[in-house]
Amino acid sequence: MHFHAYLYRGAGEAIKPFDDARRAGTTEFQTAVVPPEATSAWLTKPARMVKGTWDDPTDAVAWLAQQYADIADQRMHLEQQRQAPSLETMTANALDALHRGNDVVWAWWLRGGGFIDLTVACCPNRDGEGRCPLGRTDRRPDDLSR
């Protein structure tokens, strides 16, 4: 198993529920840069949308942490997020999730109406029958805890 990173950063108004651009199998889906409704559907998008690929989940979590550091002060309502989990807690939880074969999504509204979605998807994915976007043929370990 390996891990692919995906990133959407753009207008928050582009993230519409039940939009064909977010639904796998629609014509608009393959070219849309907005996050899909199902996390595993990222893997069915073109390989050019992959922002990074790692065999070690620690490296994938390091990517998440760097992306977070780049936008931390741009998040909306910072004063209300003082009670939110620390970056240390978020990275520990992400590492645990990836070790267990679960995808990780971090998303925030940004000042000015922007939105950022950071996703690390396990590949192969437990929720999808799709192939690896990069053509790898890894297998999922049989002993992953849910």
In terms of Cβ atoms closer than 10 Å to its own Cβ (0-12, 13-18, 19+), residue 15 is: middle
Which one, of 45, 69, 19, lies nearest residue 128 by Cα? 45
Q: What is the mean pLDDT of residues 70-87?
A: 77
Domain chopping of the chain, boundaries: 2-123
User: What one-letter code names the amino acid at 12?
Assistant: G
pLDDT of residue 75: 81
pLDDT one-digit tens code per residue, 6-41: 999 999 999 988 899 999 989 999 999 999 999 999
Average pLDDT over residues 95-113: 94
* H/E element, 120: strand 114-123
Rounded CA-CA distance 104/95 in Å is: 9
104-109 sheet: strands from edge to edge: 52-54, 2-11, 114-123, 104-109
Over 90: is that where the pLDDT of 79 sits? no
